[in-house]
Structure 1
Amino acid sequence: MPHALLVSGSLGQGHDVMARACADSLQERGWTTSTVDAMALLGQRAGAAGEAVFRHLLDLPGVYDAFHFSALRPGARLALLADAAARRRLGPALRELVAAQRPQLVVSVFATATSAVNGLRARDFRHLVLCTDVTPHRLWVQDGTDLFLVTSQVAACAVRRYRPDAPIAVVPAPLRAPFYRPPGRAQARAELGVPGGARCVLLMSGSWGLGPLARTAAALADAGPHVLAVAGRNRELERRLRHAAGSRPRLHPFGYTERIPALMAAADLVVTSSGDTCSEARALGRRLLLLDVVQGHGRDNLQHELELGHADVTSARPEEVVRNALAALHRPPPGLSAGASPLGWRTGFAAALDRVGLGTAGEVQG
């Protein structure tokens, strides 16, 4: 059977979600797959340091904005030096993996991996890059990539900024498999202890739990709605949510959970930072309230979500989140988006494989 190597990155969970979607689609077509974390391949110290630096940049107002818009977007010298340093560390590890696994396809869903994969010599595999950001920055777009997969025409224009002749396919954003068959609203509410006629808000902000979510969850619950608050992998946030829930029966705290499809099905409104959660909410027909907490690419993604409709934006200040959430709960919900069915993604991904000569499992086409 043909084999694919998927290169993800553990900065947040969005990259892993995309890698899993690609793996699922490939396995349905008879491929074997393996997924590696580019941050881990950098080495324990370098990977941990890279994550710490990224978190620190996000914690300082305006700093990551400055780095993204002045260095990453134009491909300034600072960004290219950082990319070259990562490539030197990733290259040997990727070379060993490719030699051991002999993949016909490598899919990069993490910008740091892109140039390292393209830098491998004597390549006998195809290389796809999948980016769900609305404006991929310079490090995503490298010479040697066989096909860029993006999820909007705006993103396609961003890729052509750096490679005017770039081969591009616009595909629907893939979802995790459970979002294609979520539970019904009544079933989800019964399982979660949310009354059928109550207003209900799902509050989350990525796997890192960015922003003052504990205070926001408490304020929302005090204002009347039931609040399903997800801390992700932020254990301190989870502790604070559970403490706040002790005196608030309408506040339902969660740490890291695989039950997001059920939580989303139970909710009337999804309050989140922009990202893959937005595609998931739209697939379930839920209105969005976007937290303006992710700098850099998050600003662009947020604007794009607003343009798609059935979404509002708020600062992360709890009192403003409450005011905007209560208003949004009175607005009509959207219908299901085109992404509610896996057909669009599967068709688009299959066409992408055809374009690089891998459309038939086990047979590389001329």
Structure 2
Amino acid sequence: MNFVFENIKNFNQPYIIAEIGANHNGDLNLAKQLIDQAVEAGADCAKFQSWTKESIFAKQVYEENYFLADDYRDRDDYTLEEIVEEFSMNKEEFIELKKYCDKKGVDFGCTPFSKAEADFLVDELNLPFLKIASMDLNNIPFLEYLASKQVPLILATGLSEMSEIDEAVRTIEKHHSKIILLHCVSNYPPLDGNVNLRNITMLQDYFKPYSVGFSDHTIGVEIPLASVSLGAAVIEKHFTLDKEMFGWDHKVSADYQDLIQIVQGSKRIVEALGSYRRKLTKFDEEKIPAFRRSIVAAKEIVEGQIIELSDLTFKRPGTGIPPKYVDFLVGKVAKKTIKLDTVIDLKDF
């Protein structure tokens, strides 16, 4: 499914984003392998993040050297500044990856971390949408600028109060109304009890008519698949070739087999959700005669006998008089003898 804003709706087949992010580890060939695997697994979009050492952290952060560990352990073999520089990609590499995605028939998506990066993604790469990271939801000047680019915006809502989400949406609405919200919990990974998938329903109700998806950081495939049953219009899941690979997000990422389960499972769930209206299937209609019950003689009923309730019972098939009409038969006189276990017919009275 290529990105068409109008087609991405709650309770439709979700738009599946393989969030490669920085899982390419700054390696162009690895990035292409990730795209290949995402395409083969059935993802709709291979998404990256556009940042540089200058656009993501202030000098103070590098001096403090707080490292976002790939394996939840502190490391001393890399500084934060070194790893950010190594894992970033330049314009030429993104141009090549965009062309590669076009060749493979998958959308190229990206999250900008600065105005200049947004200009590049929209004006030069002509991306169909921009994804806004949770950390920028309260960055109102940046939201104003991104909204002015007049492309659909997918807005992650992690770390945010409802008032902040509302302010972000109203800010974007000043320029256009092509917004998709993503419920997001920004812990990596969150406890199941903190995921609060019902927030998807809450956001759907509060921000009608906008579509709402789920940006997932849980381990495994169960939680993103559960979001489909709540109508998630988008599923964004970090994607890797190897969960043990060195890097920031590999541990919480889906691998190839996980992504296949998400893609195929979401299709089954959407199909199984079906319609809100109660409607019998052709199978139901065909099976009713065999599966339902009719009024049946519980004992032999002789000609001229006045029928009592104890003379009747209810058994398959459902080709005779339905059980709900039993009171109508009680007190009637049999025209002929009815043998035990015979389906009753109105002509018998």
When normalised by structure 2's length, the TM-score is 0.29
Larger Rg: 2
The structure with more helix, counted as a fraction of residues: 1
